[in-house]
Amino acid sequence: MQEERPEGIERYDDPAGGWGALRAVAKTLAHQQVVAQGAATLLKANQPDGFDCPGCAWPDPKHTSSFEFCENGAKAITWESTARRVGPEFFENNTVDELWTWTDHKLEDAGRLTTPLFYNRSRDRYEAIEWEEALQIIASELNKLPDPNMAEFYTSGRASNEAAFMYQLFVRAFGTNNFPDCSNMCHEATSVGLPKSIGVGKGTVLLEDFDHCDAIFSFGHNPGTNHPRMMTTLHEASRRGVPIVVFNPLRERALEKFAAPQNPVEMVTLTSTPIASAYHQLRIGGDIAVLRGLMKMVFEKDTASIRRGGEGVLDRLFIAEHTVGFRELRQDIEATSWESIIQVSGLTLEAFSSAADVYIKAKNVIVCYGMGVTQHENGTANVQQLANFLMLRGNMGRKGAGICPLRGHSNVQGDRTVGITEIPNAALLDGMERAFGFRPSGEKGHNAIETIAAIAEGRSKALVCLGGNLAVAMSDPDATFQAMRKLDLAVHIATKLNRSHLLLAKTSIILPCLGRTDLDTQASGPQSVTVEDSMSMVHASRGFLNPPSPLLRSEPAIIAGIAKATLGSRHGIDWDGLIGNYDRIRDKIEIVFPDFHEFNRRVRVKGGFRLDVPASYRMWKTESGKAAFLLPPSLDGDHLLRDRDALMLTTIRSHDQYNTTVYGLDDRYRGVFGRRDVVFMNKTDLADRGLRDGDLIDLTTILSTEPRKASKFTVVEYNIPKGSVAGYYPELNVVITLERYDRLSGTPSYKSVPVIVSAAA
């Protein structure tokens, strides 16, 4: 009997990758009308003289590789290099009021922006404006503010090092540290959590460490969709017999089995390689419980080994020589009951025992993790417990072992490195003084959450966005949209139209910029920019396509334009000189951040260079000078959920989206086609609520002062642990209230939202 499923929900039994991935790319190329040019463009991605793929921050084998096929990289590139255009006529035909009713997909799919735009309220239309006039309006609005701290300067992680550095220079010269950043919604828990543990807020492994590891533990990331080139690494590791232990509430297909499109045998024989050696479906938000359980199991096995006259299973030398806090941690973990660990994590004692055996048996272990770990109220603690777990056996700072956060945007890590931070340290201020002869303010500025609060309360009146789609990416669109409409000035530097641009301020301006794939020509000729990947490798990126319109400017040039108009000759910065040749920007970066010594020379070496990560050679830049075992939070909070009959909601990316950019409506590997208005639920949870597969439901937030509701989603019976629900970002951001975020890092709790699920009203 054919089982009856909701519309658009199908079984998907194939491996990830394979022919399905090739077919998807052909379809994307056709849709964006870039077949001829597009195919050639793809071949330039991540090549020594080509551009850095804007798809993700996974490194390349020295950026010298032969072409690596990547379905979602191809989507990101063709989405940018589309033949579609959004010019003045587009806005003549569509009022902002009409555009507001368009979907996020349709807005961006309209094509590349071609001209600076100024919003004309009397006609409710964006209209073309000359660059100089736009820059003068922005300058006069910014200079009108009684206090520079009333302006907010957002960065999305696609900006190059050069653009980000120019931006922080301008903003600091203007006089504020208000730097909300996409990183605040992403890996801030890593940037804040790891320095306390190991003295650096970045990953410690290099790509070649994967060739030497004996086990990989994967927590809360979905590489088949979000870091597809990582599948090459996991595929190789699996074929080498390396166990890959996965902790993820959903059975992500690419973590189960993968057919490498570059492997002719798998392609022709329709076979694939298993990826996970063990797959543990923990409850959403259960990572602290899982890590407590894993460490408790390691301690029990250690005690047992010593009782038998063995040496134990811990790396006692490493712990004694390199760490502090071990005894307190062990005590705390051993005092946690198995009962609570099992209840909160949703995993069995046997699961913990087998995972601990893999961990103990392996000489070198790498832990990889993504948003499933960071986007929780205890996101920072989650990251720190991963470090604890690794350090029990000295898996930090040696070949084949370490921690590997999977960064988001292709240069989100680099933007931070070159000064996008709301909390400048003394080294940064000293560096700026050395390079530019003025000392910027050291006062703490706003992160993303604080920015929205400041705008909502009228304390901030101007917002400049270097890319991104802040309003849609943030929690609670009701509150966020309302806030943004109260601004005096909104400026968006962007490649494509999105909803944030339609949240009108008194003065609204859109400035169209070049993308990664576009040729950037300045006074001295064609320019390269630089980016830093997830493994702290810095390399050059050069676009080569003819820009979509002669009016477009590069991001660094736009920032210099705003700076010159706003600051005039203040601080005597030669804005035009810096833009004329980006080598000069890099010379300044090198003065501010000595880690970039000989920047221009080293970035011209094939493959680029690595920034210093002291923890990767066991140098701990912490307060104590040692790596620190830090105590995890307790598991007590969990009863709040059970008492209220609530479920924990997580929000995830589909296979056809890039953050708020929705390429299409399919989520192939999860068997969802042509729709995104679904939530995944466990069979028992459905039955308990008298619900059936395909019913319409509402989700209501609890444990927040102002509850929010998401209405009329279709429920899909799914293989997900009891007590857990999952659905798509950004559609479900409506139920994530602004007050739910990690107090240590400011990261919104996008992946643990307590909700009540009921039949749709």
Ligand X SMILES: Nc1nc2c(c(=O)[nH]1)N[C@H]1C(S)=C(S)[C@@H](COP(=O)(O)OP(=O)(O)OC[C@H]3O[C@@H](n4cnc5c(=O)[nH]c(N)nc54)[C@H](O)[C@@H]3O)O[C@H]1N2
Rg value, the chain, Cα: 25
Only one of the segments 287-295, 405-413, 458-466, 752-760 lies at the binding site for Mo ion (rule: CB under 5 A); that segment is 405-413
> Tokens 């001829």 label which residue?
36
Q: How many residues bind Mo ion (CB under 5 A)?
A: 2
322 contacts 618 by C-beta, under 8 angstroms? yes
Strands (E), 109-232: 112-113, 117-120, 125-128, 151-155, 215-219
Residue 650 binds ligand X, judged by CB under 6 A: yes
Across-strand partners of 86? 113
Q: Phi, psi (5° rounding) for residue 155? A: -125, 135
Residue 186 binds ligand X, judged by CB under 6 A: yes
Residue 58 binds ligand X, judged by CB under 6 A: no
Residues from 187 through 226 that contact ligand X (CB under 6 A): 219-222, 225-226
CB of 658 to Mo ion, least distance (A): 10
What is the distance between the alpha carbons of residues 346 and 635, in angstroms, rounded to a whole number? 13
**Is 250 or 324 the residue whose CB approaches ligand X more closely?**
250
Binding-site partner at residue 252 among Mo ion, ligand X, none, CB < 5 to 8 Å by type: ligand X
Which of 15, 224, 261, 408 contacts Mo ion by CB under 5 A? 408
Q: What is the largest CA-CA distance in the chain?
A: 85
Q: Would the CA dihedral through 22, 25, 29, 35 be positive or negative?
A: negative
**Cα angle vertex 709, ends 705, 711, to 5°?**
175
- Which positions from 322 to 351 touch Mo ion by CB under 5 A, shown as an x/- string? ------------------------------
Which of 250, 420, 449, 672 contacts ligand X by CB under 6 A? 250
> Tokens 């090739």 label which residue?
22
- Which positions from 393 to 432 touch ligand X by CB under 6 A, shown as an x/- string? -------------x-xx-----------------------
CB of 357 to ligand X, least distance (A): 20
**Is 527 or 660 the residue whose CB approaches ligand X more closely?**
660
Only one of the segments 186-194, 300-308, 456-464, 574-582 lies at the binding site for Mo ion (rule: CB under 5 A); that segment is 186-194
Binding-site partner at residue 387 among ligand X, Mo ion, none, CB < 5 to 8 Å by type: none
Residue 186 binds Mo ion, judged by CB under 5 A: yes
Q: What is the DSSP letter of 430?
A: H
Only one of the segments 100-108, 120-128, 404-412, 433-441 lies at the binding site for Mo ion (rule: CB under 5 A); that segment is 404-412
**Quick count: other Cβ atoms within 10 Å of Cβ 554?**
26
> Tokens 């072992």 label which residue?
401
What is the distance between the alpha carbons of residues 229 and 24, in angstroms, rounded to a whole number? 16
CB of 193 to Mo ion, least distance (A): 16
153 contacts 171 by C-beta, under 8 angstroms? yes
Q: Which token pair is 199?
A: 């003295």
Q: Phi, psi (5° rounding) for residue 117? A: -130, 145
CB of 88 to ligand X, least distance (A): 18
The 10 Å CB-count burial string (b at 16+, else e) for 229-249 is bbbbbbbebbeeebbbbbbbb
CB of 422 to ligand X, least distance (A): 16
Residue 750 binds ligand X, judged by CB under 6 A: yes
Please tell me whether residue 472 adopts helix, strand or coil conformation. helix
What is the distance between the alpha carbons of residues 466 and 178, in angstroms, rounded to a whole number? 13
> Tokens 């933007």 label which residue?
415
Residue 56 binds Mo ion, judged by CB under 5 A: no
Only one of the segments 589-597, 601-609, 637-645, 649-657 lies at the binding site for ligand X (rule: CB under 6 A); that segment is 649-657
**Is 243 or 748 the residue whose CB approaches Mo ion more closely?**
748
Residues that bind Mo ion (CB under 5 A): 186, 408
**Residues lying near ligand X in the complex (CB under 6 A):** 55-56, 72, 108, 156, 158, 182, 185-186, 219-222, 225-226, 247-250, 252, 282, 284-285, 287, 370-373, 375, 406, 408-409, 466-470, 473, 493-496, 498, 513, 515-516, 555, 650-653, 657-661, 729-730, 733, 736, 750-751
